[in-house]
Chain A
Amino acid sequence: MTSAYSDNANFKTRRYAETVLLSLVACHECDLLHEKLELRQGEVARCVRCNAFLYSNKPNSIDRALAVTLAALIMFVVANAFPFLAISVSGNSQSISIVSAVFALSDNGMWLLGLLCFSFILFIPLLRVVGLLYILLPLRFSSRLPGLELVFRGIVTMSPWSMMEIYLLGAVVALVKLASMANIELGLSFWAFALLNLLSALAAQMVDTHTLWEFMSQSRGGRKSIIDGGSHR
């Protein structure tokens, strides 16, 4: 009897302790613990010690992020379906698409750099957009697809390696270099690509990772029940 009683008490304190942990946030840049606060709409929580962004409360975050990400996917297709830039020098003209830059590297024997550029400007950005849709679309309807957590971790890891905006600025620099020697035309794809960059920057603004994790854990019944279930294992 006594042992069963003390086990039970132990279990209760343990559950209580785990619940307390769920109300804490550690700063990802300096590890300082903060109590999680209910934010009003539009408020942002920052670390009191190093000022790192912690979490925010954005209105209709999932809806808005989903809308912008869908638009980004469409722009991604448009940006790759039309000419990107065209050049003409004394009657000879040449037009390229976004991937052409990748082939220019690999055709000259620099296949490794070509492969990396392909990843940075096309493959990783596309994976990110598709991955976000995979997460956001079901979450919008309070549902989930398998491997949700893995996909989102992948997206976060990939983020520094998505370099579309750098490629866009690179195109501008290349144009300025050529402007005095040749006639240059910006293709439809150039504008679609610029818009794609704007949209992907907006998508990141719509929802923060902390909030997204919150939504993702809710789709499995909430953090508390996941952790409680885990402690029995």
Chain B
Amino acid sequence: MKTAAECGLVACPACGTITRAFLQATVQPPRCQLCFARLHSRKPMSLQRSWAWLLAGIIAYIPANLYPIMYTTVFGDSQPNTIFGGILVLLELESYPVALVVFVASVVVPVLKFLAVAYLLISIQRKFAHSRFDRTRLFRLTEFIGRWSMIDVFVVAILAALVQIRSVALIEPGLGATAFGASVIFTMLAALALDPRLIWD
């Protein structure tokens, strides 16, 4: 029960072919003989890059909630809509399942994802030895679920395209949508930069 790194081996991050680590020192830059991908035992500067993207994601999440994600104009009366306001509208319409989907995708998931990535990073840096299996599962969940937050941006884009009936109703996208999209993308990059193998090292 040994890891590749403990045996002085490197698995190609793309195709998985296993090479001896000493090859890395002799061939520059070290590349996989099978698929020509750059070889590295762990993602380079994983923790620093992950922290940086995570902080960028958290910062972008602030304007995402403060600025309107769209402007609704009905019969000449223009109103800004924030993310939270949109959820309240859905609740008033009594579409509870959709309100729940939007609430989970735009509030619960981003916030939990910030916390999850931060917890994983801290646990790696503090060299926690417990619940490695659970932390790997948390990592997988974070990686899988993060993209789904983009749903908010797509809803705004579709509404803005569809509701273009000049005299009656008009929907325009707002700055909040860009900030929210940026926040989702940054957090996805944070999860992609995080090397789960560090949890077990």
For residue B91, CB closer than 8 A to chain A, the reply is: no
| A residues 161-181 in Cβ contact with B at 8 Å | 163, 166-167, 169-171, 173-174, 176-178, 180-181
Total residue contacts A-B, CB cutoff 8 A: 206
A21–B93 CB distance below 8 A: no
User: Among B95, B154, B197, which residue has its beta carbon within 8 angstroms of that of A170?
Assistant: B154
> Given contacts A108-B172, A177-B90, A177-B98, is CB(A210)–CB(B16) below 8 Å?
yes
* CB closest residue in chain B, given A121: B154
Which of A25-33, A65-73, A125-133, A135-143 sits within the interface? Answer: A25-33
B15–A26 CB distance below 8 A: no
For residue A79, CB closer than 8 A to chain B, the reply is: no
State the CA gap A128–B19 with chains docked (Å): 28
For residue A230, CB closer than 8 A to chain B, the reply is: yes
Task: Note all chain B residues with C-beta closer than 8 A to A226.
Answer: 33-34
> Given contacts A101-B157, A108-B160, A166-B154, is CB(A173)–CB(B18) below 8 Å?
no
Task: Note all chain B residues with C-beta closer than 8 A to A114.
Answer: 157
For residue A160, CB closer than 8 A to chain B, the reply is: yes
> Given contacts A110-B178, A116-B181, is CB(A87)–CB(B163) below 8 Å?
yes
Number of interface residues of B (CB under 8 A): 68
Distance from B15 Cβ to chain A, minimum over Cβ atoms (Å): 4
A101–B98 CB distance below 8 A: no
> Given contacts A21-B20, A160-B192, is CB(A174)–CB(B168) below 8 Å?
no
B173–A110 CB distance below 8 A: yes
For residue A194, CB closer than 8 A to chain B, the reply is: no
For residue B129, CB closer than 8 A to chain A, the reply is: no
> Given contacts A166-B147, A177-B98, is CB(A223)–CB(B17) below 8 Å?
yes
Task: Note all chain B residues with C-beta closer than 8 A to A89.
Answer: 165, 168-169
A90–B1 CB distance below 8 A: no
State the CA gap A114–B150 with chains docked (Å): 13
Task: Note all chain B residues with C-beta closer than 8 A to A229.
Answer: 33
Distance from A147 Cβ to chain B, minimum over Cβ atoms (Å): 10
B4–A160 CB distance below 8 A: no
Task: Note all chain B residues with C-beta closer than 8 A to A25.
Answer: 11, 16, 18
Q: Which of A121, A150, A169, A210 has the most chain B CB atoms closer than 10 A to its own CB?
A: A169
| B residues 145-201 in Cβ contact with A at 8 Å | 147-148, 150-155, 157-165, 167-169, 172-173, 177-178, 181, 185, 188, 192, 196-197, 199-201
- Chain A, interface size: which category? 35 or more
For residue A103, CB closer than 8 A to chain B, the reply is: yes
B 1-28 binary contact with A (CB < 8 Å = 1; else 0): 1111101010101111111100000000
State the CA gap A150–B34 with chains docked (Å): 11
* CB closest residue in chain B, given A212: B15
A33–B9 CB distance below 8 A: yes
* CB closest residue in chain B, given A227: B33
B155–A213 CB distance below 8 A: no
Task: Note all chain B residues with C-beta closer than 8 A to A178.
Answer: 159, 162-163
A 84-100 binary contact with B (CB < 8 Å = 1; else 0): 01010110101010001
Question: Told that A51-B133, A153-B37 touch, could you supply 8 new A-B pairs with CB distance under 8 A?
Answer: A30-B196, A30-B199, A49-B133, A96-B162, A100-B162, A113-B153, A170-B150, A229-B33
The 4 closest A-B pairs by CB, nearest first: A170-B154, A26-B11, A230-B33, A101-B157
Chain A residues in the interface with B (C-beta under 8 A): 21-22, 24-26, 28-33, 49-52, 85, 87, 89-90, 92, 94, 96, 100-105, 108, 110, 112-114, 116-117, 120-121, 149-150, 152-153, 156, 160, 163, 166-167, 169-171, 173-174, 176-178, 180-182, 210, 213, 216-217, 223, 226-227, 229-230
Could you pull out 25 A-B pairs where Cβ atoms are within 8 angstroms? Answer: A21-B19, A24-B9, A25-B11, A26-B11, A28-B16, A30-B136, A30-B200, A31-B11, A31-B197, A33-B4, A89-B168, A94-B164, A108-B160, A108-B173, A113-B173, A113-B178, A116-B181, A166-B154, A169-B101, A170-B157, A173-B151, A210-B16, A213-B35, A217-B34, A223-B34
